[in-house]
Amino acid sequence: MLNLIKQIVEVSLGERSYPIYIGESMLYGFADKFRERFNGAKAAIITNPTVWDLYGSQLTESLTAGAVDYELILVPDGENAKSLGVAERIYGDLIQKGFERKDVVIALGGGVVGDLAGFVAATYERGVPFIQIPTTLLAQVDSSVGGKVAVNHGLGKNMIGAFYQPAFVYIDVSTLNTLPDQEFAGGMAEVIKYAFIKGEPLLSLIQEKKRAILGKETGLLSEVVRICCSIKGEIVEKDERDVGVRAYLNYGHTLGHAIESTTKYDYTHGQAVAVGMVFAARLSQRLGLLGEDAVELHRRVIAAYGLPTTASGASAVELVRVMERDKKRAGGGHFFVLLDGIGNPVVRKIDEDMLVSVLSEFLREV
C-alpha cells in the first residue's frame, strides 16, 4: 500500500513539542508511526459514524497489520457531541475497557471529534497520550494544531477545556475528497485568513492555484496544509496559552461570531468569518492601515472560493450589541484584529460610534 508522508512540520514547545505529518493515502501507514512512539500501548479510536464508515477500514487494516490493540468509541455526528455528557460516557468506556495511563486516545474526524477526544485525553487519568487524525480541512489547518481542547456548556461554546498538546498530528489530505463542498469552503475561510495575516507565499498560491485546490489535487492540498500548519505552529510557539499574538488567529472572527449568532446560524462559521475578514479589511482601510486595493483583494479571494463578502439579515446595531459580550470579556472596548498592510496583523481598540458607522456602511456595500 502507498504510504506517502510528504511533509513534516515541527511544533516546538519544549517537552510538549510534536510533529505534524502531512501527505496522501497515509492512513494505511498509521500503525508504523503509532508503534514508533507507543509500542505495546492500546488505542481508543474516537470518531463518529460518518467518518468511521468512510475511513474506519483503512485505519483498522493498518492497526491490525501492525498488531496494535484498539477499541472503537463512536460518538454522534455534530456539534452536540462536544458535551460533558458525551465525555462522561467515553470515560466509562475507557474504564470498562481497561485503559491505563500509557494507552492512547486517537481522534479521527473533524474539529468536533478532535476537541472532544482531546478534552477526554487531557482529563482521563489526569492525562493520557493523544493523537489527532483530522479529516476536515478546518481541522487539518486549524483545530488539530495548537492544543486547545474543549467541550461546550449550555451557557457557552468551548467553556470547559484545557491546553493539551497532541503527541503528533497525522494529516491525510486524501480524506478531503469526501468532504462536502460547504465544509471544504469553511476550511478555506481559515486558509484565506492565514494568507492575509501572513501574506506570501500562501496568498499567491491560493490565487494562482484556485482550480487545483478546488479540484482537491492532493499534492497542492498537502502544500497548502503544510504552510497553514507552519503559520499556526509558529504563532502557538510564541503564545501557547493565548495571552498575546495568538489573538491574530481571530482575524475576521469578531464580527464573524456576531453574524453567526445574530442570524441564528444562517451563516456557517466559515461564511461568517469570510464576511468578518472583508469587514476587518474595510475597518483597516478606514484607519489608514490598508489601501482600497487590499479590500478589493479580500473580496476577490473570498468570492473565488464560494464564500460571501457581505451579510444580510443583521443590522449594525444588533451586531454591535452581540459584540458587547466580547467587549466585556476583553475588559471594555471593542478590540479587532486588523491589518497594518497585508501580512502584518495588529490589534486595535475601536470606538463604538465609529464601529456602528463603518459597519452600517459596510452592510450596504454590494
Residue 277 Cβ, how far from ligand NAD at the closest point, in Å?
15
Pick the piece of the chain touching ligand NAD (CB under 6 A) from 37-45, 87-95, 112-120, 279-287. 112-120
Pick the piece of the chain touching ligand NAD (CB under 6 A) from 58-66, 88-96, 143-151, 337-345. 143-151
Q: Nearer to ligand NAD by C-beta: 169 or 319?
A: 169
Does 143 bind ligand NAD (CB under 6 A)? Our answer is: yes
DSSP per residue, 259-305: HHHHTTTSS-HHHHHHHHHHHHHHHHHHTTSS-HHHHHHHHHHHHHT
Residue 96 Cβ, how far from ligand NAD at the closest point, in Å?
25
CA distance 184 to 104: 29
Does 77 bind ligand NAD (CB under 6 A)? Our answer is: yes
Q: Nearer to ligand NAD by C-beta: 111 or 129?
A: 111
Does 136 bind ligand NAD (CB under 6 A)? Our answer is: yes
Residue 132 Cβ, how far from ligand NAD at the closest point, in Å?
10
Pick the piece of the chain touching ligand NAD (CB under 6 A) from 74-82, 193-201, 233-241, 250-258. 74-82
Nearest to 305 by CA among 164, 193, 168, 160: 193
Does 111 bind ligand NAD (CB under 6 A)? Our answer is: yes
Pick the piece of the chain touching ligand NAD (CB under 6 A) from 172-180, 196-204, 329-337, 356-364. 172-180
* Residue 48 near residue 74 (C-beta atoms within 8 A): yes
CA distance 275 to 252: 7
Q: Which three cell numbers stand for residue 268?
A: 456557517
Task: Write the CB contacts of 20 (distance below 8 Å, at least 6 apart in sequence).
Answer: 8, 9, 10, 11, 144, 145, 168, 169, 171, 229, 233
Question: Which DSSP category does 15 fall into?
Answer: B
Q: Which amino acid is at 298?
A: H
Out of 103, 115, 223, 240, name the contact with ligand NAD by CB under 6 A.
115
Out of 62, 123, 165, 175, name the contact with ligand NAD by CB under 6 A.
175
Residue 114 Cβ, how far from ligand NAD at the closest point, in Å?
7
Q: Which amino acid is at 329?
A: R
CA distance 201 to 81: 37
Query: What residues numbered 184-223 form the site for ligand NAD, per CB under 6 A?
Result: 186
Pick the piece of the chain touching ligand NAD (CB under 6 A) from 179-187, 213-221, 304-312, 337-345. 179-187
Q: Which amino acid is at 192?
A: I
Out of 139, 197, 339, 342, name the contact with ligand NAD by CB under 6 A.
139
Out of 26, 87, 138, 338, name the contact with ligand NAD by CB under 6 A.
138
Residues in contact with ligand NAD, total (CB under 6 A)?
27
Pick the piece of the chain touching ligand NAD (CB under 6 A) from 109-117, 124-132, 250-258, 273-281. 109-117
Instruction: Answer positive or negative: Cα dihedral of 104, 108, 109, 113.
Output: negative
DSSP per residue, 50-99: HHHHHHHHHHHHHHHHTT--EEEEE--SSGGGSBHHHHHHHHHHHHHTT-
Residue 83 Cβ, how far from ligand NAD at the closest point, in Å?
11
Out of 61, 71, 79, 340, name the contact with ligand NAD by CB under 6 A.
79
Nearest to 229 by CA among 192, 203, 191, 200: 191
Q: How far is CA 240 from CA 50, 148, 333, in A?
A: 32, 9, 24
Q: Nearer to ligand NAD by C-beta: 269 or 282?
A: 269
Pick the piece of the chain touching ligand NAD (CB under 6 A) from 171-179, 193-201, 252-260, 321-329. 171-179
Residue 232 Cβ, how far from ligand NAD at the closest point, in Å?
9
175 phi and psi, to 5 degrees? -65, -20
Task: Write the CB contacts of 267 (distance below 8 Å, at least 6 apart in sequence).
Answer: 259, 260, 275, 308, 311
- Residues at the interface with ligand NAD (CB under 6 A): 48, 50-51, 54, 77, 79, 82, 109-113, 115, 135-136, 138-139, 142-143, 146, 148, 158, 175, 178-179, 183, 186
